[in-house]
């Protein structure tokens, strides 16, 4: 058997389109047969109604067939997409950049947190009960007191971050909000989760664990998770909505003249966006709690750093999980494809314009992939081709310069 398998993704895409068209025909036919059967039964004399007992309804049979064909269409389309992705060298480079970007984002967050604590803007210490407490830098605390007692309190909070104007933060000081802006968590949330985790761990080791300690850890852990959830869900949701918009724009460019296929593909795009947001955010939130608890032995700063690292790892795990749940999410979305398309059509003109740009970009990517593959298959020949192109450009340039010189020496000569 050959090690290289040649598959044309476009052929698979066409096959999937054919399935969609057949699906529409079957749905239309079994709906018509169902209505015909209902009308026949209703129009029959009462004494003959028993004749229809046990007669199969084409609705159930047709619906079952459509469900099976729909699953096959998803498999075919996904297979074609996988081959297309494997053949897209530029796309693979982008995926590497995407991972690198995620690492950079995590590094930037941890760096920001380390800088905040390194400058001593907020410090942690153990009190007489051997539990952690915190205090802000004197200058920061004094500034916070002035702002919190001034009429410009709301302006300052809004300048720091608009979300800090909500009632949720009405009891937080300005200094606490500065901590949250740069570290992600309110200092009280970090302190409580660290202390409860350490108490839980000691109780587990010493055999003194009881329901109150477990309950306290659960409450502080939940609050700690919520603090991370707001940021994680917002960031993941924005990224996925952006990706969904690009996919829908591409669908309009590719299937704009095929409403049945367009409707299904747009529903899948929405379903995948919801699925990815839920899976990646869920993994990141759980990872933050686990990572924070694991490094809480190093104190509140360890809790914060551990939560950031855990959030990143959990997000990556969630991304892997999302691939296994995407098929189910697509099926759920397809059940509401008409409603989803109605919502998408509100912005149809915008998606169509964006789709034209996406199509041109895809053409450029296809051309770049072709050039890269040709270079890999025949690097010497490609180098000669480039050399010949440069030589022709050089000759053309010389010809233009020579022609310009002769022109100036002639009619416009000052000699």
Say what the pLDDT of residue 304 is.
Answer: 93
311-to-97, 224, 277 alpha-carbon distances in Å? 19, 12, 14
pLDDT band per the 50, 70, 90 thresholds, residue 4? low
Return the biggest CA–CA distance within the chain: 118
User: Can you read off the two tokens belonging to residue 5?
Assistant: 């398998």
Alpha helices in 256-378 (DSSP H): 259-294, 300-334, 337-344, 348-377
- Looking at the fold, whether 179 and 216 belong to one and the same domain comes out as no
Question: Is residue 381 included in any domain, yes or no?
Answer: no
Assess whether pLDDT exceeds 80 at residue 67.
yes
Encode pLDDT of 311-347 as tens digits: 888 888 888 888 888 888 988 998 888 899 999 888 8
Question: Of the candidates 56, 62, 57, which has an alpha carbon nearest to the alpha carbon of residue 26?
Answer: 62
Split at pLDDT 50, 70, 90, the class of 382 is low
Higher pLDDT, 408 or 171: 171
Q: Is residue 390 part of a domain?
A: no
Locate 389 and state its tokens: 């192109």
Residues 353 and 210 in one domain: yes
What pLDDT shows up at residue 385?
A: 61
Lowest-confidence segment of 24-28, 151-155, 165-169 by average pLDDT: 24-28
Say whether 123 sits in a helix, a strand or coil: strand
3-state secondary structure at position 135:
strand
Do residues 250 and 333 share a domain?
yes
Residues 286-295 have a mean pLDDT of 92
**According to the model, what pLDDT value does residue 401 have?**
61
* 310 close to 292: Cβ distance less than 8 angstroms: yes
Is residue 276 in a domain?
A: yes
Residue 176 belongs to some domain of the structure: yes
Look at the block and give the residue holding tokens 């399935």: 19
Same domain assignment for residues 100 and 238 = yes
Question: Residues 260, 309: one domain?
Answer: yes
Average pLDDT of the segment spanning 126-136? 90
Final residue belonging to a domain, choices 334, 358, 382: 358
| pLDDT tens-digit series, residues 346-359 | 888 888 887 787 77
Same domain, yes or no: 35 and 157 = no
Residues 193, 179, single domain; the answer is: no
pLDDT of residue 101: 60
Residue 387 resides in a domain:
no
Q: Is the pLDDT assigned to residue 1 strictly greater than 50?
A: no
More confident residue, 96 or 265: 265
The per-residue pLDDT for 21 is 87
Number of H helices, E strands in the chain: 13, 2
Q: What percent of the chain has pLDDT over 90?
A: 29
Range among 93-102, 189-198, 348-357 rated most confident: 189-198
DSSP class per residue in 56-93: PPHHHHHHHHHHHHHHHHHHHHHHHHHHHHHH-HHHHH
**Cα(31)–Cα(19) distance, integer angstroms:** 18
Give 415 or 5, the one with higher predicted confidence: 5
pLDDT recorded at residue 99: 62
Shared-domain flag, residues 172 and 313 = no
Collect all residues with Cβ–Cβ distance below 8 Å to 110 and sequence separation of at least 6.
305, 308, 309
Share of the chain above pLDDT 70, in %: 80
Q: In the structure encoding, which two tokens stand for residue 132, read together?
A: 């952690």
Min mean pLDDT across 82-96, 228-242, 327-341 is at 82-96
Among 306, 337, 358, identify where a domain stops. 358
Q: Same structural domain for residues 170 and 211?
A: no
In a domain, 393, yes or no: no
Is 352 within the bounds of a domain?
A: yes
Tell me the mean pLDDT in the region 149-161: 92
pLDDT tops 90 at residue 3: no
Query: Is there a contact between 230 and 166 (Cβ–Cβ < 8 Å)?
Result: no
Looking at the fold, whether 333 and 351 belong to one and the same domain comes out as: yes
Confidence of residue 230 (pLDDT cuts 50, 70, 90): confident
- Cα separation of 204 and 313, whole Å? 26
| Orientation angle between helical segments 89-118 and 300-334, nearest 10 degrees | 150
Mean of the per-residue pLDDT values of the chain:
82
- Is residue 2 very low, low, confident or very high in pLDDT (cuts 50, 70, 90)? very low
Q: Residue 264 is part of which domain span?
A: 90-110+118-125+188-358
Give CA separation, 228 vs 50, 272, 281, 284, 295, in Å: 64, 23, 10, 8, 16
Taking residues 389-414, report their average pLDDT. Answer: 58
> Do 336 and 223 lie in a common domain?
yes
Residue 6 confidence (pLDDT) above 60: yes
Q: Indicate yes or no: pTM above 0.75.
A: no
Sequence-distant (≥ 6) Cβ neighbours of residue 55 within 8 angstroms: 37
Boundary of a domain, candidates 358, 378, 393? 358
**Using 50, 70 and 90 to split pLDDT, how confident is the model at 394?**
low
Same domain? For 105 and 193 the reply is: yes
Mean pLDDT of 2-12: 68
Cβ pair 91, 31 in contact under 8 A = no
CA distances from 226 to 151, 185, 267, 275, 284 (A): 30, 10, 30, 20, 12
245: in domain: yes
Collapsing DSSP to helix, strand or coil, 24 comes out as: helix
pLDDT at site 377: 67
Number of domains in the chain: 3
CA-based radius of gyration for the chain: 32
Choice between 316 and 120, residue whose per-residue pLDDT is larger? 120
161-177: pLDDT as tens digits: 998 999 989 999 999 99
């Amino acid at each position: 058997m050959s090690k290289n398998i040649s598959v044309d993704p476009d052929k698979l895409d066409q096959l999937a389109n054919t399935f969609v068209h057949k699906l529409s025909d079957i749905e239309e036919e079994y709906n018509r047969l169902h209505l015909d059967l209902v009308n026949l039964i209703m129009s029959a004399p009462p004494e003959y109604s028993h004749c229809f007992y046990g007669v199969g309804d084409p609705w159930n049979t047709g619906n079952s067939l459509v469900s099976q064909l729909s699953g096959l269409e998803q498999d075919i389309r996904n297979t074609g997409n996988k081959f297309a992705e494997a053949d897209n060298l530029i796309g693979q480079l982008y995926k590497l950049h995407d991972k690198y970007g995620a690492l950079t984002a995590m590094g930037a967050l941890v760096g920001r947190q380390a800088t905040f604590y390194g400058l001593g803007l907020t410090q942690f210490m153990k009190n007489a009960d051997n539990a952690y407490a915190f205090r802000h830098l004197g200058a920061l605390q004094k500034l916070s007191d002035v702002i919190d007692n001034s009429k410009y309190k709301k302006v300052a909070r809004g300048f720091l971050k608009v979300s800090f104007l909500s009632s949720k933060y009405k009891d937080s000081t300005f200094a606490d909000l500065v901590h949250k802006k740069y570290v992600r968590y309110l200092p009280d949330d970090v302190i409580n989760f660290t202390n409860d985790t350490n108490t839980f761990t000691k109780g587990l080791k010493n055999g003194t664990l009881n329901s109150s300690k477990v309950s306290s850890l659960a409450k502080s852990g939940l609050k700690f998770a919520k603090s991370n959830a707001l940021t994680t869900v917002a960031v993941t949701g924005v990224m996925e909505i952006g990706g969904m918009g690009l996919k829908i724009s591409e669908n309009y460019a590719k299937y704009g003249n095929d409403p049945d296929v367009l409707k299904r593909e747009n529903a899948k795009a929405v379903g995948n966006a919801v699925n990815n947001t839920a899976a990646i955010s869920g993994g990141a939130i759980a990872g933050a709690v686990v990572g924070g608890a694991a490094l809480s032995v190093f104190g509140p700063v360890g809790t914060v750093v551990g939560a950031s690292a855990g959030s990143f790892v959990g997000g990556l795990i969630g991304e892997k999980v999302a691939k296994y749940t995407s098929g189910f999410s697509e099926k759920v979305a397809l059940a509401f494809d008409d409603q989803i398309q109605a919502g998408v059509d509100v912005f149809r003109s915008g998606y169509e314009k964006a789709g034209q740009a996406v199509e041109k970009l895809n053409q450029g990517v296809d051309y770049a992939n072709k050039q890269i593959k040709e270079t890999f298959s025949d690097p010497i020949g490609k180098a000669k081709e480039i050399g010949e192109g440069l030589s022709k450009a050089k000759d053309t340039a010389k010809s233009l310069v020579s022609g310009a010189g002769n022109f100036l020496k002639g009619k416009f000569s000052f000699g």
